[in-house]
Amino acid sequence: MIRMESVTKRYADGTVAVDRLSLEIPDRAITVLVGPSGCGKTTTLRMINRMVEPSEGTILLDGEDLQQQPVTTLRRSMGYVIQNAGLFQHRTILDNIATVPRMTGWGKQKSRERAAELMERVGLDSSLGKRYPYQLSGGQQQRVGVARALAADPPVLLMDEPFSAVDPVVRKGLQDELLRIQDELGKTIVFVTHDIDEAIKLGTMVAVMRTGGHLAQFAPPAELLSDPADAFVEDFLGADRGIRGLSFFPSTGLELATGPVVRVDATAEQLTAPGAPYLLVTDADDRPLGWAEPRELRAGEITADALLPYGRPFVAGTDSLRAALDCAVLSPTGWAVAVDAEGRVTGVASQATIGEAIRAAHGTGSTGGARAGERTGDAAADGPADVTKVAP
Ligand SMILES: Nc1ncnc2c1ncn2[C@@H]1O[C@H](COP(=O)(O)OP(=O)(O)O)[C@@H](O)[C@H]1O
Ligand SMILES: [Mg+2]
């Protein structure tokens, strides 16, 4: 574990970049440092691998003072990724990734094999290995940066705004990839960003910093959204934090109604029985076809194209209450359609039912910092957020 104890950094010109910062960075989880530009995020990150030395305070790695550890050993145990990847322009992609293994004396062949393996891991086609950085897109270069940092299999990964320079679509891909890699590898990652949405998406723990190098709040993302420590954090989180917080509540507790669900070959009796304002018609395989009012349906004469669209269903249990609510809001009937992993209808839920589930979830505070859906993996199971994340 990395532990910062009242760490201050005062630069030569008197600027206090970080002010008495204390943080416990959990093992095998992603800790995000987030805050406006100039609040001391980069300085904090660089003190962890001693590119910057603290003016006061102590940083401990597995209980040992960093000051007692040789810088070269320390740096090798910590991969470092920066914005725009910082690749060596005159080296091929394969050689860029193989840099640290080569330095540690792995030999050319073994280093290149390792590099090829890492390209696959970060989602890069092996044919790109012979290219030079300028022959890759920004997003691809960023993946190379991640692969290079992982090459010597360091337990710690320090990432300074690694995805900030790429467009939103590519950025989302890189974030998903990082979560997937983390699921497999379970590194201790310290990730710096100025983007609160990125922090909430990636972080197991999030440290919100404010100008002057002060720590405003250190909490799991669900807790930041539900209980911001002060007006600064609340303002920094931005609009809709209530709705966004729902992505941390699984839809498991949501009561689904099966009465209003009828098959396309339903009998006249089955069509009148439910007494619901709308019926969801499914095919013989239980896949949704669309909505209709009961009086518009004639047994034996139901055609899919005469039905109202069913919108985007949510996966019951796996998706979050936010996803369920979104489905209800977008549904022409106000009812959300729940399906299983195979896309078969398991029931429907009204906005009122979803509202009840939301109130119940808030009442019990059952998230425990969890976000439904995405597994954080066994590796993170002993971290502070021993939880599953929910697909928002
Ligand atoms: N080498 C330096 N000398 C003097 N001041 C610095 C130096 N590096 C950063 N700073 C100042 O320290 C503060 C924090 O910087 P930084 O850690 O880079 O913030 P962030 O990464 O959050 O944008 C800023 O006011 C910045 O201008
Ligand atoms: Mg910075």
For 251-271, what is each residue's pLDDT tens digit? 998 999 999 999 999 998 888
Confidence check: pLDDT of 371 > 80: no
What's the pLDDT band for 364 if we cut at 50, 70, 90? low
Q: Return the minimum-mean-pLDDT range out of 174-178, 241-245, 347-351, 365-369.
A: 365-369
Q: Which atom of ligand 1 is nearest to the CA of 39?
A: 22
Q: Which atom of ligand 1 is nearest to the CA of 9?
A: 12
Domain that holds residue 175: 2-240
Distance CA 351, CA 277 (A): 14
What's the pLDDT band for 377 if we cut at 50, 70, 90? very low
State the chain's mean pLDDT as an integer: 89
- Judge if 127 and 195 occupy the same domain: yes
CATH of the domain at 323: 3.10.580.10
Q: Are 246 and 325 in contact (CB under 8 A)?
A: yes
Task: Give the residue-averaged pLDDT of 44-57.
Answer: 96
Q: pLDDT at position 131, please?
A: 96
- Judge if 232 and 258 occupy the same domain: no
Q: pLDDT at position 376, please?
A: 38
Q: pLDDT at position 369, please?
A: 46
Q: pLDDT of 206-223, one tens digit each?
A: 999 999 999 999 999 999
Q: Are 323 and 331 in contact (CB under 8 A)?
A: no
Q: What is the pTM of this model?
A: 0.85
Q: pLDDT of 168-207, one tens digit each?
A: 999 999 999 999 999 999 999 999 999 999 999 999 999 9
Q: pLDDT at position 102, please?
A: 86
Residues contacting ligand 1 via CB (< 6 Å): 11, 13, 15, 17, 35, 37-43
Q: Would you say residue 373 lies in a domain?
A: no
- Judge if 236 and 273 occupy the same domain: no
- Judge if 206 and 69 occupy the same domain: yes
Q: Which of 32-41, 71-80, 291-300 has the highest mean pLDDT?
A: 32-41
**Ligand 1 center to residue 374 CA distance, Å?**
35
Closest ligand, as measured to the CA of 162: 2
User: How many angstroms separate the Cα of 381 from the Cα of each of 32, 158, 177, 214, 376?
Assistant: 18, 21, 20, 30, 7
**Ligand 1 center to residue 48 CA distance, Å?**
15
- The residue whose C-alpha atom lies closest to atom 18 belonging to ligand 1 is 42
Q: What is the DSSP letter of 253?
A: G
User: How many angstroms separate the Cα of 315 from the Cα of each of 147, 323, 362?
Assistant: 33, 9, 21
Confidence check: pLDDT of 388 > 60: no
Share of the chain above pLDDT 90, in %: 73
CATH of the domain at 70: 3.40.50.300
Q: Would you say residue 50 lies in a domain?
A: yes
Pocket test for ligand 1, best of 13, 42, 43 (most atoms within 8 A of CB): 43
What's the pLDDT band for 299 if we cut at 50, 70, 90? confident
Closest ligand, as measured to the CA of 17: 1
- Judge if 183 and 331 occupy the same domain: no
Share of the chain above pLDDT 70, in %: 93
Q: Would you say residue 389 lies in a domain?
A: no
Q: Would you say residue 287 lies in a domain?
A: yes
Task: Give the residue-averaged pLDDT of 303-323.
Answer: 92
Q: pLDDT of 110-152, one tens digit each?
A: 998 999 999 998 989 999 999 999 999 989 999 999 999 999 8
- Judge if 97 and 216 occupy the same domain: yes
Q: Would you say residue 380 lies in a domain?
A: no
- The secondary element (H helix, E strand) that includes residue 232 is helix 231-237
- Judge if 315 and 220 occupy the same domain: no
- The residue whose C-alpha atom lies closest to atom 12 belonging to ligand 1 is 17
- The residue whose C-alpha atom lies closest to atom 27 belonging to ligand 1 is 38
Q: First vs last Cα of the chain: how many Å apart?
A: 29
Query: Which residues are in the CB-under-5-Å shell of ion ligand 2?
Result: 42
Closest ligand, as measured to the CA of 37: 1
Q: Which atom of ligand 1 is nearest to the CA of 43?
A: 17
- Judge if 126 and 220 occupy the same domain: yes
Last residue of a domain, one of 190, 210, 240: 240
Q: pLDDT at position 379, please?
A: 36
- Judge if 353 and 279 occupy the same domain: yes
- Judge if 32 and 104 occupy the same domain: yes
The closest alpha carbon to 190, from 39, 82, 50, 32, belongs to 32
Task: Give the residue-averaged pLDDT of 20-42.
Answer: 97
Closest ligand, as measured to the CA of 34: 1
What's the pLDDT band for 238 if we cut at 50, 70, 90? very high
Last residue of a domain, one of 185, 207, 240: 240
Q: pLDDT at position 392, please?
A: 56
Total number of domains constituting the chain: 2
Confidence check: pLDDT of 365 > 90: no
Q: Would you say residue 384 lies in a domain?
A: no
- Judge if 36 and 8 occupy the same domain: yes
What's the pLDDT band for 21 if we cut at 50, 70, 90? very high
- The residue whose C-alpha atom lies closest to atom 11 belonging to ligand 1 is 17
Last residue of a domain, one of 240, 268, 297: 240
Q: Would you say residue 378 lies in a domain?
A: no
- The residue whose C-alpha atom lies closest to atom 7 belonging to ligand 1 is 11
Q: pLDDT at position 275, please?
A: 79
Confidence check: pLDDT of 383 > 80: no
The closest alpha carbon to 349, from 331, 361, 335, 333, belongs to 335
Q: pLDDT at position 390, please?
A: 60
Q: pLDDT at position 56, please?
A: 97
**Ligand 2 center to residue 36 CA distance, Å?**
9
**Ligand 1 center to residue 40 CA distance, Å?**
6
Pocket test for ligand 1, best of 7, 8, 11, 41 (most atoms within 8 A of CB): 11
Q: pLDDT at position 195, please?
A: 94
Q: Would you say residue 377 lies in a domain?
A: no
- Judge if 48 and 158 occupy the same domain: yes
Q: pLDDT at position 382, please?
A: 37
Q: pLDDT at position 270, please?
A: 87
Q: Are 136 and 96 in contact (CB under 8 A)?
A: no
